Amino acid sequence: MRVGVLALQGAFREHQKALAACGVETEQIRKPEQLAKISALVIPGGESTTMGKLLMEFNLLEPIKELGKQGMPVFGTCAGMILLAKGIAGSTQPRLGLMDITVERNAFGRQVDSFEAELDVPVLGEEPFRAVFIRAPYILSVEKSVEALTSFGGKIIFARQGRFLAAAFHPELTGDLRVHRYFLENCIS
Protein backbone atom coordinates (compact mmCIF):
# COMPACT_ATOMS: atom_id res chain seq x y z
CA MET A 1 0.00 0.00 0.00
CA ARG A 2 1.15 3.50 -0.86
CA VAL A 3 -0.42 6.56 0.78
CA GLY A 4 -0.29 9.91 -0.96
CA VAL A 5 0.31 13.11 0.98
CA LEU A 6 -0.88 16.28 -0.71
CA ALA A 7 2.30 18.34 -0.98
CA LEU A 8 1.09 21.78 -2.06
CA GLN A 9 1.43 23.44 1.34
CA GLY A 10 1.63 22.60 5.04
CA ALA A 11 3.27 19.87 7.10
CA PHE A 12 3.28 17.19 4.39
CA ARG A 13 6.80 15.97 5.27
CA GLU A 14 5.77 15.44 8.89
CA HIS A 15 2.82 13.33 7.74
CA GLN A 16 5.19 11.31 5.56
CA LYS A 17 7.47 10.69 8.54
CA ALA A 18 4.54 9.54 10.69
CA LEU A 19 3.27 7.21 7.96
CA ALA A 20 6.78 5.84 7.39
CA ALA A 21 7.04 5.15 11.13
CA CYS A 22 3.81 3.13 10.71
CA GLY A 23 5.54 1.09 7.98
CA VAL A 24 3.77 2.67 5.01
CA GLU A 25 5.26 3.92 1.74
CA THR A 26 4.27 7.47 0.78
CA GLU A 27 4.15 9.63 -2.31
CA GLN A 28 4.11 13.43 -2.40
CA ILE A 29 1.13 14.43 -4.55
CA ARG A 30 1.40 17.55 -6.72
CA LYS A 31 0.03 16.36 -10.08
CA PRO A 32 -3.16 14.50 -11.07
CA GLU A 33 -1.25 11.63 -12.70
CA GLN A 34 0.39 10.82 -9.35
CA LEU A 35 -3.01 9.87 -7.91
CA ALA A 36 -2.92 6.59 -9.86
CA LYS A 37 0.00 5.43 -7.69
CA ILE A 38 -1.82 5.66 -4.33
CA SER A 39 -4.55 3.83 -2.45
CA ALA A 40 -5.27 6.59 0.13
CA LEU A 41 -4.59 10.31 0.60
CA VAL A 42 -3.63 12.56 3.51
CA ILE A 43 -4.36 16.29 3.28
CA PRO A 44 -2.20 18.25 5.74
CA GLY A 45 -2.85 21.50 7.52
CA GLY A 46 -1.99 24.83 5.96
CA GLU A 47 -4.25 27.64 4.80
CA SER A 48 -7.47 26.15 3.44
CA THR A 49 -8.34 28.99 1.05
CA THR A 50 -4.88 28.87 -0.50
CA MET A 51 -4.92 25.07 -0.64
CA GLY A 52 -8.32 25.10 -2.35
CA LYS A 53 -7.02 27.52 -4.99
CA LEU A 54 -3.88 25.40 -5.48
CA LEU A 55 -5.99 22.24 -5.83
CA MET A 56 -7.83 23.97 -8.67
CA GLU A 57 -4.68 25.46 -10.22
CA PHE A 58 -2.93 22.07 -10.24
CA ASN A 59 -6.08 20.33 -11.56
CA LEU A 60 -6.31 18.13 -8.45
CA LEU A 61 -9.66 19.18 -6.95
CA GLU A 62 -11.99 17.23 -9.22
CA PRO A 63 -9.78 14.10 -9.55
CA ILE A 64 -9.42 13.83 -5.75
CA LYS A 65 -13.14 14.48 -5.26
CA GLU A 66 -13.98 11.74 -7.79
CA LEU A 67 -11.56 9.23 -6.24
CA GLY A 68 -13.06 9.98 -2.82
CA LYS A 69 -16.57 9.37 -4.16
CA GLN A 70 -15.31 6.07 -5.60
CA GLY A 71 -14.09 4.99 -2.15
CA MET A 72 -10.49 6.17 -1.81
CA PRO A 73 -9.77 6.82 1.90
CA VAL A 74 -8.90 10.44 2.71
CA PHE A 75 -7.57 11.87 5.99
CA GLY A 76 -7.56 15.63 6.48
CA THR A 77 -5.93 17.54 9.34
CA CYS A 78 -6.80 21.16 10.17
CA ALA A 79 -7.05 22.79 6.70
CA GLY A 80 -7.45 19.27 5.33
CA MET A 81 -10.55 18.87 7.50
CA ILE A 82 -11.93 22.13 6.10
CA LEU A 83 -11.35 20.92 2.53
CA LEU A 84 -13.12 17.62 3.29
CA ALA A 85 -16.23 19.40 4.62
CA LYS A 86 -19.38 19.87 2.56
CA GLY A 87 -20.12 23.09 4.45
CA ILE A 88 -17.78 25.89 5.57
CA ALA A 89 -19.44 28.61 7.64
CA GLY A 90 -19.35 31.94 5.82
CA SER A 91 -17.25 30.69 2.92
CA THR A 92 -17.69 29.66 -0.69
CA GLN A 93 -14.03 28.64 -1.08
CA PRO A 94 -13.14 25.59 -3.19
CA ARG A 95 -13.43 22.30 -1.30
CA LEU A 96 -13.70 18.57 -1.86
CA GLY A 97 -17.01 18.34 0.00
CA LEU A 98 -16.64 14.62 0.72
CA MET A 99 -17.72 14.58 4.39
CA ASP A 100 -21.20 15.41 5.64
CA ILE A 101 -19.92 18.03 8.09
CA THR A 102 -20.01 21.81 8.39
CA VAL A 103 -16.92 23.48 9.84
CA GLU A 104 -15.96 26.83 11.33
CA ARG A 105 -12.54 28.10 10.19
CA ASN A 106 -10.04 29.56 12.72
CA ALA A 107 -12.56 28.68 15.41
CA PHE A 108 -10.10 28.66 18.31
CA GLY A 109 -8.45 31.97 17.39
CA ARG A 110 -5.54 33.28 15.40
CA GLN A 111 -1.97 31.94 15.12
CA VAL A 112 -1.00 33.50 18.47
CA ASP A 113 -3.83 31.53 20.11
CA SER A 114 -2.30 28.17 19.14
CA PHE A 115 -2.22 25.64 21.97
CA GLU A 116 -1.80 22.01 22.98
CA ALA A 117 -4.32 19.93 24.92
CA GLU A 118 -4.70 16.42 26.31
CA LEU A 119 -7.67 14.74 24.62
CA ASP A 120 -9.68 11.71 25.63
CA VAL A 121 -10.16 9.79 22.38
CA PRO A 122 -11.79 6.42 23.16
CA VAL A 123 -11.01 4.94 19.70
CA LEU A 124 -7.30 5.53 20.39
CA GLY A 125 -7.27 3.80 23.79
CA GLU A 126 -7.23 4.95 27.40
CA GLU A 127 -4.08 7.09 27.26
CA PRO A 128 -4.86 10.76 26.46
CA PHE A 129 -3.71 12.08 23.09
CA ARG A 130 -1.63 15.28 23.20
CA ALA A 131 -3.03 17.41 20.38
CA VAL A 132 -1.55 20.51 18.73
CA PHE A 133 -4.05 23.18 17.62
CA ILE A 134 -2.85 25.89 15.20
CA ARG A 135 -5.55 28.27 13.92
CA ALA A 136 -7.75 25.24 14.28
CA PRO A 137 -11.26 24.78 12.93
CA TYR A 138 -13.99 22.76 14.59
CA ILE A 139 -17.03 20.92 13.34
CA LEU A 140 -20.28 22.87 13.77
CA SER A 141 -22.59 20.05 12.68
CA VAL A 142 -22.54 16.47 11.43
CA GLU A 143 -25.02 14.32 9.55
CA LYS A 144 -26.10 10.92 10.87
CA SER A 145 -23.50 9.16 8.70
CA VAL A 146 -20.66 10.87 10.62
CA GLU A 147 -19.21 9.54 13.88
CA ALA A 148 -17.85 12.22 16.23
CA LEU A 149 -14.69 10.67 17.74
CA THR A 150 -13.88 13.39 20.27
CA SER A 151 -14.66 16.95 21.28
CA PHE A 152 -12.81 19.78 23.00
CA GLY A 153 -14.61 22.57 24.81
CA GLY A 154 -17.92 21.15 23.62
CA LYS A 155 -16.84 21.33 19.95
CA ILE A 156 -16.32 18.29 17.71
CA ILE A 157 -12.68 18.18 16.58
CA PHE A 158 -12.20 14.60 15.33
CA ALA A 159 -14.68 12.68 13.17
CA ARG A 160 -15.02 9.77 10.80
CA GLN A 161 -17.40 9.01 7.97
CA GLY A 162 -16.64 5.62 6.49
CA ARG A 163 -13.30 5.96 4.68
CA PHE A 164 -12.95 9.67 5.52
CA LEU A 165 -11.23 10.93 8.68
CA ALA A 166 -10.97 14.56 9.80
CA ALA A 167 -9.00 16.11 12.67
CA ALA A 168 -8.94 19.78 13.68
CA PHE A 169 -5.53 19.23 15.28
CA HIS A 170 -2.09 18.22 13.97
CA PRO A 171 -1.19 14.63 14.93
CA GLU A 172 1.82 14.78 12.58
CA LEU A 173 3.49 17.29 14.93
CA THR A 174 3.66 14.84 17.83
CA GLY A 175 5.51 11.56 18.21
CA ASP A 176 2.21 9.77 18.87
CA LEU A 177 1.27 7.63 15.86
CA ARG A 178 -2.16 6.51 17.09
CA VAL A 179 -4.20 8.80 14.82
CA HIS A 180 -2.26 7.75 11.71
CA ARG A 181 -2.56 4.09 12.74
CA TYR A 182 -6.28 4.55 13.28
CA PHE A 183 -6.61 5.88 9.72
CA LEU A 184 -4.54 3.02 8.28
CA GLU A 185 -6.35 0.30 10.23
CA ASN A 186 -9.93 1.57 10.17
CA CYS A 187 -10.40 3.69 7.06
CA ILE A 188 -8.23 1.81 4.58
CA SER A 189 -8.57 -1.87 5.47
Catalytic residues: 78, 170, 172
Instruction: Tell me the Cα Rg of the chain.
Output: 15
- The helix/strand/coil state of 14 is helix
**What is the distance in angstroms between the CA of the first residue and the CA of the last residue of the chain?**
10
Phi, psi (degrees; rounded to nearest 5) at 160: -135, 140
d(CA 153, CA 47) in angstroms, rounded, equals 23
Half-sphere exposure of 184 (CA within 13 A, CB side): 19
Phi, psi (degrees; rounded to nearest 5) at 25: -75, 145
